[in-house]
Structure 1
């Protein structure tokens, strides 16, 4: 090789190296280096394809393309395939080579797309960094059909420089993205903690809060919380199109369900293709947004019970696998934050429940020490006065009135004691059935109890069943006309069933039409519904009344 050619090649490589180090913006850097390379080598046109791990290519830079290749917003460079890309995908393009015929230019001539400026051939050079294949660099000039070995060697050296610079920028962008996401994660965690402390409702409210904060603190076009209920995955809350969508009615498709199961079964983040993201949100009426998404990530939410798993899913417009991996890493940390907020809300609910219990206990003590004592004194006074007036001859007319006062005060005292017991359910420590049996005995009822199955239940469910049982026993005492009842408590893996039955005169269904008499039934039904369950009523004038409360139970860890 002549000395001046070597010097020119060294100057070219030096200039390219300096150009590559002038910017951290990939697009600007590539445009600049392609233009500089053509200037130094005397070539006239060049273009650069980036090809991702899935084999999808993008023309990220071009310089002085002939008119035939820039028609319709450079459609020939955005669609179709060619020899160099095919060889790159199947691993046969390892070095700089001459392309005898360019399919894109051949199509331009065949379909008369426009002037090719006498460009028929080009050299193609694979871009790589180590073993990592990145894309292709193509260069051409009018009338030039063959590139010499020295020209190809120079192009190969330049391609190595470009590949190394691209790798450096790839790592820089990934770390920059990761640092940015972790900063946003900190702000998200702070905002979520504040919101949870102010939240007074349960799961649905928390899901809406999380979706809103995801939209506020991150740049993902779509973020959704998906939960499986009764074997069906449903979007619980979602941020999309600048707003929060809650409680979507339509379940995921069968294919979307399989994708969610894949995440849950693997216990880690999984990446989705653009088509898979569209499938997941196909029932959400977000066609416009979904069609703009290029990838997605899903991560399991471990705070749900195993039979009702949850998944956090995002959709992105990012194509770079490295950036997607950075998002995936932060998404797993997000899942931990959401889980922690869920546990914090449970603790807050528990604290509120303890505060309510303490307030009821205080009220029960105050009623016992004041109103209860006054009623007891009234009853004794009326009995004493009635006794004195009954001993006179003739019996004083007021004696009958005092007997009525005594009876009324006794009834009021009994009601007050029942109210105090409802406020302060002493006796639950011995079990729900024992407490109800004791309560029934104080109401003058004979209570037979039976239990089927054994398992621990949360305190709030036990107390809810206690209240329902109390009200049912009160109704039996007041309306059934009998003094015996049967209580059956049954447990299955996922629900508790409390059944209170009597052989009285029935009439519960008739009382439902009276707002005054149906108050007790309404209270029982509302209590069952507040626990996520239902109340069933059966009543007959010949066979009595049966009230059944069915309450779902949370998953019991082993």
Structure 2
């Protein structure tokens, strides 16, 4: 083994250790990319994740020329390019020299410095038959890389692909464990606290019927009323932990929750609702919080829900004809419910808007990409 081969083996060992130690996706890929660039002739690099619909997302980058890093890496974030197209078409099988790069050409056309970067190499990130995206690397004043450099790039991409798969499996296992724990807690609440509150309600009702003393009867009636409210809150909490009906579809889950809290909900669905599980759950939680706000603040017992699905996003409109409220000009919300909706929409990378006027009801508009 010559010195160069030994150096490559050492580099691969260091990168493997880094990939195995890190448990967060972005820091892991960022660190591995940095380590790879430090130990090779490559000087800059970036990683795209590409989903089933061919949409790319910039996940990590290192030592980009100013033109590619400008405006939050807009040149890399937006538009298309040949390497992403080849990946989408299944033509990118191994590490390859890209003769041209549309993104670099765009930067050059804008008369911004690319610091000698005119071409790059690209390699798919995959584990077995499962594909995740691509790794691109480049060096100043370099049109093509040597076979041994591409072989090293391919080895690192293989390591990254395996690490991405590991983290995805770990995340899935954690999500399954979380769902199981929420289900367990929901069962415990239903079997213990929920049943206890129900018993107190019946006891208070019986006490009110048995006594002839007006003050005692009023006390029992008040206990019954408060316990019934607590029971309703408890059932809502159990729904938040384990949405009953969501397993049969988003719309049925939402309608079931509305019925449970006493809201007559009319639904209108356009398009096919084939949503990823996490998107579906977040949309359910958003609408759930919107229904809670209607039930608590709008002074009406009816609402309309519109779900409009396109190939890339879901538009959710929840409308009531209740009291309405003054929408704050800044994102300083008058209730935790509105803040919760905003937080969930932010997690999904979506947008949210409230249209409301005192005495004229409220409309909630949410758009979630997927």
TM-score bracket relative to the smaller structure: 0.7 to 0.9
The 8 Å contact of residues 235 and 247 in structure 1, kept in 2 or not, is answered as no
Alpha-carbon spacing, 1:232–1:472, altered in 2? closer, same or farther (3 Å)? closer
Partner SS state of residue 274, structure 2: coil
In structure 2, the residue matched to 1:544 is: 361
Residues 398-456 of structure 1 show CA distances to partners (whole Å, capped at 9, x for unaligned) of: 32122112111101100101101110112112111111111111111111112111142
Is 1:479–2:301 an aligned residue pair? no
1:484 is displaced (CA, Å) by: 1.2
The answer to whether the 8 Å contact 2:83/2:98 transfers is: no
- Which residue of the other structure, out of 121, 124, 145, is the alignment partner of 1:298? 121
CA shift in 2, pair 1:184/1:205, >3 Å: closer
Which of 144, 148, 165 aligns to 1:343? It is 165
Tell me the CA shift for residue 380 of structure 1. 1.8
Question: For residue 222 of structure 1, what is the aligned residue in structure 2?
Answer: 43
1:499 to 301, 308, 317: 317
In structure 1, the gaps of 5 or more residues are 1-171, 554-558
Change (3 A) 1:297 1:246: closer
Which 5+ residue runs of structure 2 have no aligned equivalent? 127-131
CA distance in 2, matches of 1:552, 1:384: 53
Alignment of structure 1 residues 198-209 onto 2, 5 Å? 198-199=23-24, 202=25, 204-209=26-31
Quote the Cα distance in structure 1 between the aligned partners of 2:309 and 2:119.
42
The 3-state SS of whatever aligns with 1:251 is: helix
TM-score normalised over the length of structure 2:
0.79
Q: Secondary structure at the match of 2:162?
A: helix
Deviation (angstroms), 1:250: 3.9
**Alignment partner of 2:279: what SS?**
helix
Which residues of 2 match residues 96-245 of structure 1 at below 5 A?
177=4, 180-182=7-9, 184-195=11-22, 198-199=23-24, 202=25, 204-215=26-37, 218-220=39-41, 222-227=43-48, 236-239=60-63
After superposition, the Cα gap between the structure-2 partners of 1:187 and 1:365, relative to the gap in structure 1 and judged at 3 Å, is same
SS of structure 1 residue aligned to 2:311:
coil
Question: Is the 2:15–2:35 contact (alpha carbons within 8 Å) kept by the matching residues of 1?
Answer: yes
1:312 to 112, 131, 136: 136
| CA–CA distance in structure 1, aligned partners of residues 85 and 276 of structure 2 | 32
Q: State the 1:239 CA deviation.
A: 4.9
Give 1:462 deviation, angstroms. 0.7
Matched pairs, number? 353
Give the whole-Å Cα distance in 1 for the aligned partners of 2:330 and 2:103: 51
| Structure 2 CA distance for partners of 1:526 and 1:364, relative to 1, 3 Å | same
Q: Which protein is bigger by CA-based radius of gyration?
A: 1
In the alignment, which residue of structure 1 is the partner of 2:129? none
8 Å contact 1:481–1:504 — kept in the other structure? yes
Matches within 5 A, 1:237-386: 237-239=61-63, 249-252=72-75, 267=92, 268-271=94-97, 290=115, 297-302=120-125, 310-315=134-139, 324-386=146-208
- Aligned partner of residue 249 in structure 1, secondary structure: helix
Give the TM-score normalised by structure 1: 0.54
Give the aligned partner of residue 488 of structure 1. 306
| 1:515-538 alpha-carbon deviations (Å, 9 max, x no partner) | 6x5110100110111112122211
8 Å CA contact retained: 1:532, 1:551: yes
Using the alignment, how far apart are the partners of 1:269 and 1:462 within structure 2? 37
Alignment partner for residue 252 of structure 2, among 434, 437, 441? 434
Structure 1 position 205, deviation (Å): 3.3
**C-alpha distance in 1 between matches for 2:358 and 2:64:** 57
Deviation at 1:500, TM superposition (A): 1.4
Structure with more contact order per residue of length (Cα contacts < 8 Å, sep ≥ 6): 2
| Counterpart pick for 1:402 among 220, 223, 246 | 220
